[in-house]
Amino acid sequence: MGKVVLGVAVGVAVAACTVAALVVGRRVRSRRKWKRVVGVLKEMEESCETTVGRLKQVVDAMAVEMHAGLASEGGSKLKMLLTFVDNLPSGSEKGIFYALDLGGTNFRVLRVELGGQRSDLDPDVEQQPIPEQLMTGRSEDLFDFIASSLYQFVEKNDSVQSPITKLLGFTFSFPVKQTSVSSGVLIKWTKGFAIRDMVEKEVAGALQQALTRKGLNMRVSVLVNDTVGTLALGHYHDADTVAAVIIGTGTNACYWERTDAIIKCQGLLTTSGGMVVNMEWGNFWSSHLPRTSYDIELDAESPNPNDQESDFKDVRRVGCFWTGFFQVIFAFHLKDTINGCNARRRLPRINTSCKNLKRRS
pLDDT tens for each residue of the chain, 361 residues long: 554 443 444 444 444 445 445 555 555 566 777 777 777 777 777 777 778 888 899 899 999 999 999 999 888 889 999 999 999 998 888 888 999 999 878 899 999 988 887 878 888 999 999 999 999 999 999 999 999 999 999 998 887 777 888 999 999 988 888 899 999 999 998 888 999 999 999 999 999 999 999 999 999 999 999 899 999 999 999 999 999 998 876 788 999 999 999 999 877 778 889 999 999 887 787 777 777 777 777 667 665 555 544 444 544 455 555 666 667 777 777 777 777 665 555 555 555 444 444 443 3
Nearest CA-CA partner of 256 in 271, 235, 237: 235
Q: Per this entry, what is the length of the chain?
A: 361
CB 126 within 8 A of CB 108: yes
**DSSP string covering 80-99, please?**
-EE--------S--EEEEEE
Output the pLDDT for position 56. 92
Kindly name the residue from 86, 226, 295, 299 that is annotated as catalytic. Answer: 226
Strand, helix or coil at 251? strand
Sheet holding 218-224, edge to edge: 124-129, 106-115, 94-102, 166-172, 218-224
Q: From CA 106, how far away is CA 69, in angstroms rounded?
A: 31
Nearest CA-CA partner of 169 in 229, 100, 92, 217: 100
Question: Is 191 annotated as catalytic?
Answer: yes
Question: Is-above-0.95 flag for pTM?
Answer: no
Output the pLDDT for position 359. 41
Kindly name the residue from 77, 79, 166, 191 that is annotated as catalytic. Answer: 191
Question: Is 226 annotated as catalytic?
Answer: yes
CATH architecture under which domain 81-279 falls: 2-Layer Sandwich (3.30)
246-288: pLDDT as tens digits = 887 678 899 999 999 999 987 777 888 999 999 988 778 777 7
Output the pLDDT for position 308. 45
Output the pLDDT for position 347. 53
**Cα–Cα separations (whole angstroms), residue 289 to 38, 118, 262:** 24, 40, 27
Output the pLDDT for position 19. 46
Q: From CA 49, how far away is CA 178, in angstroms rounded?
A: 38
Output the pLDDT for position 342. 57
- Domain ranges in the chain are 81-279
CB 66 within 8 A of CB 136: no
Q: Is 80 left (phi over 0), alpha (psi -120 to 50) or beta?
A: left
